[in-house]
Amino acid sequence: MSASAGARRWRAQLEEAVLPAVVALLIAALVGDVLIIVYGQSPGEVYRALLEGTWGNAYGLGQVLYKTTTLTFTGLSVAIGLRAGLFNIGAESQLAAGGFAAGVLGTLLPPGLPALLVLPLFIVAAAIGGGAVGGAAGVLKSKWGAHEVITTIMLNFIVLALLNYLTVAHFKVFDTLHTADVRSGALPRLSALIPPFHGSAANMVLFLALAVVAVAWWYLFRSRAGYELRAVGLQPGAAEYGGVNVPGVWWRAMLISGAVAGIGGLNFVLGYKHYYEDGFSTGAGFLGIAVALVGRNNPVGVVLAALLFGTLSQGGLAVNALVPKQMVDVLQAVVIIAVVTSVPEVRRVLRSARRRGGPEA
C-alpha cells in the first residue's frame, strides 16, 4: 500500500515536472512555425538547420555547451535571488564585473604559474567583482529599503559604463577593445580532452559551473542559511516572526547572487579568449532571468533551461541565412511567455484531475 502510494506520488511529481514543459515547448514551436511560414520559409527546413548547427555536429554542440556554461551561472544567480524573494536584474553587469576582475588579475600575475594553482584566485576575484555589484544592491535594500529591481537596473548602467571607461582609458591593448592576455591561469578547451570539439569555445569552466550548481543546491536545500533564505523568499513576515534576520538574508542573498554571476565571467576570460573584452557578455545576464524562470529556480532545472537557451542562441546563428536573427529572439521570448503561463495552468489542471480521481494528493 505505502509502496504504491509512493510510486503514485513519484509519478505525480514527474507529471508536474515534465508535462508543463512539454506543453509550453509545443506552443512555442507552433508559434515559431507560424512566424517562419509568414516570413516565407519552411519550418521543417529552419528547425532542421537549427538542430544540425547545434546538436548535429561536435563543433555546434561545443558552442552550445559554451553558451550553456555562461547561462548556467547567470540563471543560477537570478534563481538564488528569486528564492529569497529578490528579483536581481543585474546579472548582466555582475557577469561583466566578474570577468573584468579576472581579466585584470590575469595581467597582474607573474607568467607561467600552473592554472589549477591560480584558479582559486581567479574564482575569488570574479566572485568579488560580481558580488560587489550584487552586494551593493543588497545593502541598499537592507539598509534603506531601496527596491532591488530599480537599483540593479541602475547599477547595470553605472557598472557597464565604468567598465567601458576603465577598459578604453587604462587597460586596453592598442587598437582593440580588450585587455592584454592573462599571463597565468588560462584553462584548456574541452577539445584538449575530446578532440572532435576542436574550434568550439567550450572549456573546463563547464565543470566549474556544474560544481557551483551542486554547491548551490546543497546551500539552498540542505544548509541552515539556505533554509532561512527560502523562508524569507516565501513569507518574510513569518520568517521574521520565526527569528530570521530578514534584512541580513537580503543582502547576503544579493551578494551570493552577484558572486555566482561574476564567476560566470571566467568562461570567457579564462576558458575562451584569455582576455577581458568590453561587451563580451552582451545579453547573457538578461537571458539568465529567462533561464531562472523556465528552470523554476531549481539548480538542476536551471542547467536544463540553460541548455535549451544555449541551443536556441547558437541555433540562431545556424539559421541566420534562412531567417533574420530577430526571429530567434522572438522565439526565445515566446518560450518564456509560454512557460510562465502554461506551467501554473497545466499544474492546476493536473491537481484538479487528481482531486477528482481519488484521495491521493
Partner 1 sequence: MRKLLILVGVLLAAHVVLLFVHPAGAASPAIDPHAVNVGIVFDVGGRGDKSFNDAAYVGGERAEKELGVHVRFIEPGDGSDREAALRIFAAEGMKLVIGVGFIFTDDLVQLAKEYPNTDFAGVDFSVATDSAGNPIPPPPNLAALKFREEEGSFLVGALAAMVGHSKKVGFVGGMNSPLIQKFQAGYTAGVHYVCPDCQVIAQYAGVTPDAFRNPGKGKELALSQYQDGVNVIFHASGSTGLGVFEAARQTNKLAIGVDADQYSEAPGHVLTSMVKGVDAAVFDAIKRVKDGTFKGGIYSYGLAQNGVRYVYDEHNKALIPDSVQARLQQLRADIIAGKIKVPTTP
Q: Quick check: 162 binds partner 1 (CB under 8 A)? A: no
Of the candidate spans 16-24, 106-114, 189-197, 222-230, the one that interacts with partner 1 by CB under 8 A turns out to be: 16-24
For residues 74 and 95, give the distance between their C-alpha atoms in angstroms, rounded to a whole number. 7
Per CB under 8 A, does 311 bind partner 1? no
How far apart are the C-alpha atoms of 184 and 195, rounded to whole Å?
24
Using CB under 8 A, pick the residue from 8, 29, 124, 139 that binds partner 1. 29
Q: Smallest gap, in angstroms, from Cβ of residue 27 to partner 1?
A: 7
Query: In this chain, which of 5, 14, 30, 194 binds partner 1, going by CB under 8 A?
Result: 30
The position carrying cell 480521481 is 357
For partner 1, the binding residue among 40, 114, 145, 243 (CB under 8 A) is 40
Q: Is residue 92 a contact point for partner 1 (CB under 8 A)?
A: no
- DSSP secondary structure string, 106-171? HHHSPTT--HHHHHHHHHHHHHHHHHHHHHHHHHHHHHH---HHHHHHHHHHHHHHHHHHHIIIII
Binding positions for partner 1, 175-234, rule CB under 8 A: 175-177, 199, 201
Q: Pick left, alpha or beta for residue 112 (phi over 0 → left; psi -120 to 50 → alpha; otherwise beta).
A: left
State how far the Cα of 323 lies from the Cα of 344, in Å rounded to an integer.
32
Residue 272, interface with partner 1 (CB under 8 A)?
yes
CA distance 291 to 77: 10
User: Which range, of 17-25, 208-216, 217-225, 228-236, touches partner 1 by CB under 8 A?
Assistant: 17-25
Specify the length of the chain in residues: 361
- Look at residue 300 and give its three-state secondary structure: helix
The cell 540563471 sits on which residue? 75
- Start-to-end C-alpha separation, the chain: 15
Q: Which of 8, 56, 107, 164 binds partner 1 (CB under 8 A)?
A: 164
- Choose the binding region for partner 1 from 21-29, 114-122, 126-134, 210-218 (rule: CB under 8 A): 21-29
Residue 14 near partner 1 by CB under 8 A: no
In angstroms, the CA 64 to CA 326 distance is 19
Which of residues 146, 317, 337, 340 is near partner 1 by CB under 8 A? Answer: 317
Pick from 49, 187, 231, 306: which binds partner 1 (CB under 8 A)?
Answer: 49
Which grid coordinates belong to 58?
561536435
Per CB under 8 A, residues contacting partner 1 are: 15, 19, 22-23, 26-27, 29-30, 33-34, 37, 40-45, 47-49, 53, 59, 63, 66-67, 161, 164-165, 168-169, 174-177, 199, 201, 268, 272-273, 277, 279-284, 313-314, 316-318, 320-322, 324-325, 346, 349-350, 353-354, 357
